[in-house]
Amino acid sequence: MTTRSTRPAVFFDRDGVLNHDTSYLFESAKFKWIDGAREAVRLVNQSGYFAFIVTNQSGVARGLYEESDVLTLHCWMADELAAVGAHIDAFEYCPDHPEAPIERYRRDSHRRKPAPGMITDLMTRFPVAADRSILIGDQPRDLEAARAAGIRGLLFREGNLETFVRQALGSH
The pTM for the full model equals 0.95
Query: Whole-angstrom distance between the N-terminal and C-terminal Cα of the chain?
Result: 30
On whether the CB atoms of residues 53 and 89 are closer than 8 A, the answer is no
Beta strands in the chain (DSSP E): 9-12, 50-56, 90-94, 134-137, 152-155
Task: Write phi, then psi, for 130 (nearest 5 degrees).
Answer: -60, -35
**What structural domains and CATH numbers belong to the chain?**
12-170 (3.40.50.1000)
Q: Active-site residue numbers?
A: 13, 15
Strand partners, 119: none
Provide the pLDDT for residue 171. Answer: 66
The pLDDT tens digits along the chain (172 residues) read 445 689 999 999 999 999 999 889 999 999 999 999 999 999 999 999 999 999 999 999 999 999 999 999 999 999 999 999 999 999 999 999 999 999 999 999 999 999 999 999 999 999 999 999 999 999 999 999 999 999 999 999 999 999 999 999 986 5
Task: Write phi, then psi, for 161 (nearest 5 degrees).
Answer: -65, -35
- For residue 29, count CB atoms less than 10 angstroms from its CB and return exposed for 0-12, middle for 13-18, buried for 19 or more: exposed
Provide the pLDDT for residue 3. Answer: 55
Where do runs of H (alpha helix) occur along the chain? 37-46, 58-61, 67-82, 117-125, 140-149, 161-170
CA distance 34 to 28: 14
